[in-house]
Amino acid sequence: MANIATIRNTVAPSLPIAMTDYSQQYTDQYSNILRLYFNQLDNFTRALTASNGGSALSFPHIAASDTTDQYATANNTATLVAWDTGESLLGFTLVAGAAIAEYAGVYKITFSLQFANTANAVHDASVWLRVNNVDVARSATNFSVPARKSAGVPSYVCGYSEAVFTVNAGDSIKLYWATDQAATSGGGTGIYIYADAAQVSPYARPAIPSAIGSITFVSAV
């Protein structure tokens, strides 16, 4: 396994005050302090410029998922995508379905929603991004989910998309969706976002989250 670069923080040296008269001991001490400081700088730049230098850096990001079925509020109605599990967070907090950014920057959101359709006709679902409850321009994607396979057996579509956007520190980032035909938890047919637990038979597989998403840092503004 390749070694991961390690960056050690540099600390500015406390240089001794010069003496009135020349002193070999003072000169040697001064040079030694600078040598130690330059060694720190060498370590810092060497770690960053190595072929795996990026492995020593951390950037703001959030990865989250949800373990529950999600239903639209009503037909043709914007509904917040829920997230109940923060897989990895740095520079973000997850609060009531919103990712709160701690640092300004240009970010990229990537998401995957497991749509299911229980109706006997094709129906559409749209997904888009909101920052501070304002729609982000050109962030929407439309998905057509085929008619159910049979009564009680829905069809599935993985709704995947991404968008690049800019936020300020403290901004609230949310994902919304809507459909022309909303299923209901009580049995009404239509589209919902499907989740399923891990299974062992007829083959073993992990759980299926209804939503998987991540926001990663791209650049400073």
Q: Shortest CA distance to 71 belongs to which of 129, 124, 116?
A: 116
Query: pLDDT digits over 90-111, tens only?
Result: 999 999 999 999 999 999 999 9
Q: Rounded CA gap, 183 and 48, in Å?
A: 52
Query: pLDDT digits over 20-54, tens only?
Result: 888 888 888 889 998 988 888 888 787 777 777 77
Helix (H, G, I), strand (E, B) or coil at 39: helix
Q: Model-level pTM? A: 0.84
Query: pLDDT digits over 109-156, tens only?
Result: 999 999 999 999 999 999 999 999 999 999 999 999 999 999 989 999
Q: Shortest CA distance to 8 belongs to which of 37, 43, 55, 34?
A: 43
Split at pLDDT 50, 70, 90, the class of 1 is very low
The domain defined by 61-219 folds into Jelly Rolls (2.60.120)
